[in-house]
Structure 1
Amino acid sequence: MRRQVTAALWRVLLAAGLVCGIGLLPWLTRTDPARTVLKARSADRDPTPEVLDAIRAQLGLDAGPAHLLGRWLGGLARGDAGQSWISGTDVLPGVLQALGVSLLLMAVALAVAVLTAAGVCARTLRLGARRRLGGRRSRGTASAMLAALPEFLLAAVLATVVGVQLGWLPALGWYGPQYTLLPALALGLPAGAVLGRLLDDLLPGAFAEPWALAAAARGLPGRRIARQAVRRCVPALLPNVGLFVVGLTGGAVAVEQIFDIPGLGRATLQAALAQDLPVLQAGTLALVLLAALATGGARLAAHLLAGPALRDGALSTLHRPAPPARGLLPLGLAAVLAAVVACGLPRDPLAVETGARLGPPSPAHPFGTDSLGRDLLARVGHGALDTLLLALTISAAALIAGVLLGLVPRLSGPLADTVNAVPPVLLALLVTAVAGSGTTTPAVAVTAVAWAPLAAHTTALLRQERATLHVLATRGLGAGRWYLLRRELLPAVLPPVLRHALIRLPGVALALASLGFLGLGAQPPSPEWGLLLAENQPYAERAPWAVLAPALVLALLGALAVTAAGGVRRPRRRRHPRTPAAAPVVEETPREPAEAR
């Protein structure tokens, strides 16, 4: 009871701190809000000290942060989020309308993600149901490349090909349910590929559990066993499903921009760029509340699915030793990626040839040229130093922080829930609103949130691993906490979390690229990959190679990350014959779950 009260107080303090930070945005920003309001409402008036002082007095900015925060909170209690500094209209109706649009888009995208995840796991489910899995996991190179596709690039391709050239679906606007399909595909396909890879990583362990073996021995249909295997693995993935819900709502800024969707992400981006802080405050608060609901719902669903088993210690581990991945595919992908970077580094990424604008691939320019005649191979190679090395550094830091914080769920759980409320794009907007845009903005924004999914995954796996029979038996025979952590828990948890970190490595690179695409990171003439995509997207129809070159490199990175993750396995350890944890647990009558009967 004391632990629950402490965790609840910590959660309340973090939530209060986040809400206060949102409320103090007009005071924290380094730009003068009075100048923003004057420029928006009366651009022809001179910003004299008297005029600016009058605007500050009207906005209440001179009263101090305490008065500013109190007035904002009091207005929220009355259902008033203030008025827009740009248009002068009430903020709350517009934000609620944008939130409704984003929720509808999120629901359709989540359905697409579930169907995509089912397709990624179909082969593993089929083999597991036929008892032919043999401890192997599918390599999933296609799903890896799909997960590494930038959402904004996929959105641009779908809008151009399916919407404009083929005319199958509307490409721009928001006038009915049919307008949700293309943006939902752009959001749901990469998210579903990531979820499918995480689920595919757990399914072999579920099919090897005693209940599955007993159900197969009794002749139960393979489809019923497969359904129960999915149900067994879902609780460990629910924390990450909550992250996808927030990401598909607040992180869909680029997709909403491309399809001209009046969603919450786009409204928040426009408010941040225009320094319309009341709209930015309301949009951020709406995302925080949505994240709280998604996290609470995921936690409740996990408790309903696996709560009694976690309490009674009736689980077996999902992370069994498996043979290392065979094949030269990871080495081949790494060699191709290294060759592309090595061939591009000796070239000049800033050399302009006006006579070779948008030139196709040729011996002189293997990847073609961009709109200024610059060599794309050189820009992709030099951009790897800005994007790939930064993504590797952020991923390594996120892995270390995620594992360490995941070991202390009472501290990291509320903190991760708070961080999950702010996707990288929104955090970059907040950083931009306070400190301005710069080259460090993407790194700060992505690093601040990249550890949260890994911490949530570590905590979920630890909860299930502590409830396994062999851990309970080892503890009952006198093993201490550190022995269990070092010899039983960490060897079982670290490999799947490391695979998760590798799978998310392209996502980190994509987050950096998305911020560059939105103009919140590196600025021209930097060869950063997101900036390359943003600069060349207007020429996608005339010169598709200008967009495909950085996109294919990102897809190659995704395939390399997932195939390399397939080789991360829990090592086989030879146990002493008298080690209690190695003793088999004999059950009188093996039983399958109630749902399988």
Structure 2
Amino acid sequence: MTAPSLSWARRVPGRPAFRHLRGPLAVVSGGAALAIVVAALPWLSGADPALTVLRARSAEREPDPAALRAVRDELDLPADPVSGALAWLGGALRGDLGVSWVTGLPIGPAVGQAMGVSGGLALAAVSVALAGAGLVLLPGLWRAVTTGGPVGDRGAVVGATLAALPDFLLAAVLLTVVAVRWGLLPTSGWAGPPNAVLPALALGLPAAGLLSRILAGAVDAALAEGWVRAWRAAGLGPGVLLLALLRRAVAVALPQVLLLFTGLLGSSVAVESVFAVPGLGATVLAAVLAQDLPLVQGCVGALVAAGLAFGGAGVVAHRMLVGPALAGAGLAPALPAGPAGRAARWLPGGLGAVLLLAVAAGLLRDPDAMALADRLQPPSWTHPAGTDALGRDVLARFGHGAPLSIGVGLLVTGVSLVAGLAAGLAGRRARAGVADALNALPPVLVGILVAAVAGPGLAGAAAAVLLVAWVPLAVHARTLAAEIRASGFYLAAVAGGAGYGWMLRHHLLPSVLPAVTRHALVRLPHVTLALAGLSFLGLGAPHDSPEWGAMLAESIAYAERAPWTVALPAAGLGVLGVVAGLARAGRR
């Protein structure tokens, strides 16, 4: 009777019972708040929904009071955002997503079709990312298994370079070279598997670099765990140890893979636009620009549901892969040790010095001087990096754009790291929550919502990117923290009476911070590129700004004819990615 009574007693107090409900309540309240914010878009931007619908349907029709009243009566437009959000949520619970304000067609089939397209594209891109990450990581992993050292830095250089590739620039190059010039694959549309090849490569190759760095960090951490030394002492072969290390690394990286899949569902707006793919990202962007709120709400609802589903799947998969060790004090995580390789010692400093020299040389030149007679000139003694479409010196604009690109990117990355660690370490156990729902939202959608409140600008774009950039770091910290809490030394400290603050300072942060910091540094180019995408849409830096992303967006139309216009900012992002990716934060 003792055990049942004790179990019943643990369920009686209100606080523990409420603690189990905090996650679901936070998700529900976050979803409701998000629905109200999306529904408030016309009111936030100061536009009349009836006027927006009328102009979308017929630009020639005079927006007189009678016409606007007819639109309101026909569509039963809400009078305020709260009533509109509640009405939509009530219909969604019954399976009715409403009809489009612009076309009058049902929302459900349109969202389902777009979700199917984006799901197929995301699956193909994740396949490319996994294959690419494996090719980058396996040589170093085999050396680590056979020699006992860390994974090494050769793959880190390749992975960091891939992670810094701008997906929209890669998409434009693949379209121009492979599809148009060589004629090997379709240029646009979504008619079958051949249409998915180029978009999947454009999305998957940068993701491969990111995943390879996450996997490398997980393998290095696993190599420092006690069971590896025990298996080596027992005489187990390299093949057996390799498979076990891969399983251990995949347990940490799989939530990130599922997170990546969810993020690609709605975040591939630029790539879908380049290849005219009718996916969810392009659909939600077009709906937001037309203020077709029922379609926006349907897309956002589908993205949030997908984020929660795949976030929960990541938590379950992590528990299954780690096995009983996650609940039985069977883990003994350790910080990876050992000296950094030669590449980690000299390459970041050398590349950083080259980048600083190029920036310094550009700062000595005038970035705004135009000479139309010299437009699109190749590199010369007068213009070492050539000129752009307006005859401006590319090197000068590169140098003056560095403080914007690197400075804002570092600021957003630093704040994202702090927020991600705080969110990932806050919960007592890993579970899907608000972070997984926010991860599914396209930064473009968040940027438009922020711009509706604060107006377009680099500060608003930075805030929009920040709202979603912390999520992968939070999920990574959440996964690692779950393993630390299941380790023997952590449970022993808890049994000894250590408080949460002491555990946080002495066990959780020292074990989680290095890996998540490296992850944040690898994502620094992605943050910069997200800012570039918003600048391309007119929501970030002004079109004439020397910010690197704006330079790329402005010159991408001339990439085939004048490749030097995009070469320098793309190289700057690549160098930034390699320097950040090779940083050995916390490596002892």
| TM-score, length-scaled by structure 2 | 0.91
Instruction: Report deviation, 1:401.
Output: 1.8
Instruction: Report deviation, 1:134.
Output: 5.3
**Correspondence 1:428 to 2:447:** yes
Q: 2:517 aligns with which of 498, 501, 508?
A: 498
Q: 2:306 aligns with which of 273, 290, 306?
A: 290
Give me the whole-angstrom Cα distance separating, in 2, the residues matched to 1:520 and 1:134.
Answer: 43
Report matched runs for 1:181-220 at 5 Å: 181-220=197-236
Cα deviation, 1:458-500, whole Å, max 9, x if unaligned, reads 2221221222233334444554443333233322222112111
Instruction: Report deviation, 1:211.
Output: 3.1
Instruction: Report deviation, 1:69.
Output: 2.8
* Helix, strand or coil at the partner of 2:390: coil
Instruction: Report deviation, 1:319.
Output: 1.9
Instruction: Report deviation, 1:99.
Output: 1.1
Deviates more, 1:265-274 or 1:2-11: 2-11
Q: Match for residue 585 of structure 2?
A: 568
- Amino acid aligned to 2:183: G
**Correspondence 1:163 to 2:182:** no
When residues 26 and 410 of structure 1 are mapped into structure 2, their CA distance, relative to the original with a 3 A threshold, is farther
- Amino acid aligned to 1:5: L
Give me the whole-angstrom Cα distance separating, in 2, the residues matched to 1:277 and 1:19.
Answer: 10
Q: Match for residue 351 of structure 2?
A: 333
Q: Match for residue 575 of structure 1?
A: none
Cα deviation, 1:283-334, whole Å, max 9, x if unaligned, reads 2221111111111111111121225212111111142333345522111111
Deviates more, 1:341-350 or 1:72-81: 72-81
- Amino acid aligned to 1:353: A
Q: Match for residue 283 of structure 2?
A: 267
Q: 1:80 aligns with which of 96, 100, 109?
A: 96
Q: Is the 8 A contact 1:239 1:453 kept in 2?
A: no
Deviates more, 1:186-195 or 1:34-43: 34-43
Instruction: Report deviation, 1:77.
Output: 3.9
Q: Match for residue 339 of structure 2?
A: 323
Q: 1:4 aligns with which of 14, 20, 45?
A: 20
- Give the length in aligned residue pairs: 569
- Amino acid aligned to 1:39: R
| TM-score, length-scaled by structure 1 | 0.89
Give me the whole-angstrom Cα distance separating, in 1, the residues matched to 2:34 and 2:515.
Answer: 31
* Helix, strand or coil at the partner of 2:479: helix
Report matched runs for 1:433-582 at 5 Å: 437-477=456-496, 479-563=498-582, 565=583, 567-571=584-588
Instruction: Report deviation, 1:248.
Output: 1.4
Give me the whole-angstrom Cα distance separating, in 2, the residues matched to 1:191 and 1:494.
Answer: 22
**Correspondence 1:104 to 2:120:** yes
Instruction: Report deviation, 1:383.
Output: 1.5
Give me the whole-angstrom Cα distance separating, in 1, the residues matched to 2:48 and 2:168.
Answer: 33
Instruction: Report deviation, 1:446.
Output: 0.6
Give me the whole-angstrom Cα distance separating, in 2, the residues matched to 1:373 and 1:414.
Answer: 50
- Amino acid aligned to 1:511: A
Q: 1:257 aligns with which of 251, 258, 273?
A: 273
Give me the whole-angstrom Cα distance separating, in 2, the residues matched to 1:112 and 1:307.
Answer: 28
Instruction: Report deviation, 1:251.
Output: 0.8
Q: Is the 8 A contact 1:361 1:367 kept in 2?
A: yes
Instruction: Report deviation, 1:421.
Output: 2.7
Report matched runs for 1:26-37 at 5 Å: 26-37=42-53
Q: Is the 8 A contact 2:308 2:432 kept in 1?
A: no
Q: Is the 8 A contact 2:41 2:291 kept in 1?
A: no
When residues 54 and 111 of structure 1 are mapped into structure 2, their CA distance, relative to the original with a 3 A threshold, is same
When residues 131 and 375 of structure 1 are mapped into structure 2, their CA distance, relative to the original with a 3 A threshold, is same
- Amino acid aligned to 1:380: F
Q: Match for residue 363 of structure 2?
A: 345
Q: Is the 8 A contact 1:398 1:454 kept in 2?
A: yes
Q: Is the 8 A contact 2:151 2:216 kept in 1?
A: no
Give me the whole-angstrom Cα distance separating, in 1, the residues matched to 2:522 and 2:239.
Answer: 28
Q: Is the 8 A contact 1:29 1:435 kept in 2?
A: no
Give me the whole-angstrom Cα distance separating, in 2, the residues matched to 1:358 and 1:467.
Answer: 60
Instruction: Report deviation, 1:62.
Output: 5.5
When residues 351 and 189 of structure 1 are mapped into structure 2, their CA distance, relative to the original with a 3 A threshold, is same
Give me the whole-angstrom Cα distance separating, in 2, the residues matched to 1:568 and 1:74.
Answer: 48
Instruction: Report deviation, 1:16.
Output: 2.9
Give me the whole-angstrom Cα distance separating, in 2, the residues matched to 1:28 and 1:354.
Answer: 41
Give me the whole-angstrom Cα distance separating, in 1, the residues matched to 2:228 and 2:488.
Answer: 16
Instruction: Report deviation, 1:504.
Output: 1.1
5+ residue gaps, structure 2, are 1-15
When residues 43 and 426 of structure 1 are mapped into structure 2, their CA distance, relative to the original with a 3 A threshold, is closer
Q: Is the 8 A contact 2:42 2:291 kept in 1?
A: no
Instruction: Report deviation, 1:71.
Output: 3.1
Cα deviation, 1:518-541, whole Å, max 9, x if unaligned, reads 333223211222221121111111
Q: Match for residue 39 of structure 1?
A: 55
Instruction: Report deviation, 1:51.
Output: 2.6
Q: Is the 8 A contact 1:145 1:559 kept in 2?
A: yes
Deviates more, 1:379-388 or 1:389-398: 379-388
Report matched runs for 1:276-315 at 5 Å: 276-315=292-331
Superposed CA RMSD:
2.3
* Helix, strand or coil at the partner of 1:61: coil
Deviates more, 1:528-537 or 1:176-185: 528-537
Q: Is the 8 A contact 2:315 2:432 kept in 1?
A: no
Q: 2:377 aligns with which of 334, 356, 359?
A: 359
Give me the whole-angstrom Cα distance separating, in 2, the residues matched to 1:320 and 1:556.
Answer: 25
When residues 66 and 407 of structure 1 are mapped into structure 2, their CA distance, relative to the original with a 3 A threshold, is closer
Give me the whole-angstrom Cα distance separating, in 1, the residues matched to 2:428 and 2:537.
Answer: 36
* Helix, strand or coil at the partner of 1:178: helix
